[in-house]
Amino acid sequence: MSKEAVNLGKVAVLMGGSSAERDISIMSGTGVLQALLSRGVDAHAFDPSLRDLGELKREGFARCFIALHGRFGEDGTVQGALELLGIPYTGSGVMASSIAIDKVMTKRIWLAEGLPTPRWQKVASAAATRAALAELGAPMIVKPAREGSSIGLTKVMSAGECDEAYARAAQVDEQVLCEQFISGEEVTVPVLGSGAQARALPVIRIVAPDGNYDYQNKYFTDEVKYLVPCGLQAGEEAHVQQLVLQAYAVLGCRGWARADVMIDAKTRKPWLLEINTAPGMTGHSLVPMSARAAGISYEDLCVLLLQAAALDHGGAHA
């Protein structure tokens, strides 16, 4: 066992949880757990939906790798519990996590900072969704404001599709977001590190069947093409990376994240869609893919993220 691994202490890989993304979280967490064990880390699986978080303290865990996705894992709640327990954890802190999972709040901050994000409306009924379509134009994206993995997302082409689209999103979250659809290339950009040390990894271009990058295609088919190198012009890739670093910084993110961006086919302008502060680590996931293109193996990536585990307020609490 390496000295480095010993110094990381007893590690809990938080996975499972109670969000709509539970199954994906178990896939991510299992991969992370195996990677850490292969590097000699004293790592253990821990499912917060089955066990009391207080057990982390009682059982002497020194740090946590958060492989939870969606609500109660990526939204600041588990981060706040770990702050109180004084156990350092991977990824962003309480405030950045709670803002980033809320696509409406994220957009408000990005717009306040002058960063480009597609036009949008928050809606609370099917009628409001139809009104949003009249305002934003077709096609339009209808999605839950606080969920990931494209769960509950619909691309609507006409007013007749709005009722079903709203019902589908509202089933997942009472806050529903309507967003202008940007026609063009879909890319994603992982970021590693914090503050001035944050760096953008290679851009991945996503080519999905009929442009349909949904839950099924994300995780359970091999129909989607992921292009790394992304095929963008060098200046264009660098511009997107710089934009994502700004988007990451203004939300106060740390550790790691992954931002989704659309590049308008006509104007070539990049538009920020959302940012994930606990990205997937499954066999289909994009951060490991981009890291590999940068010469970082899956196992090394897991160790790097774990080494960066921190608390918002530094040090362990008494």
Catalytically active residues are 21, 149, 219, 258, 260, 274, 276, 280
- Least Cα distance to 142 among 117, 161, 116 occurs for 161
Instruction: Answer yes or no: are the C-beta atoms of 318 and 86 closer than 8 Å.
Output: yes
- Angle of helix 298-307 relative to helix 22-38, nearest 10 degrees? 90
CA angle 15, 19, 25 (to 5 degrees): 30
The CA-to-CA distance between both ends of the chain, in Å, stands at: 30
Distance CA(265)–CA(135), nearest Å, equals 22
Residue with tokens 């442009």: 211
CA 74 to chain centre: 8
Instruction: Answer yes or no: are the C-beta atoms of 15 and 30 closer than 8 Å.
Output: yes
- Angle of helix 126-136 relative to helix 162-170, nearest 10 degrees? 120
β-strand 184-192 against 140-144: which pairing, if any?
Answer: unpaired
- Least Cα distance to 37 among 59, 57, 61, 8 occurs for 8
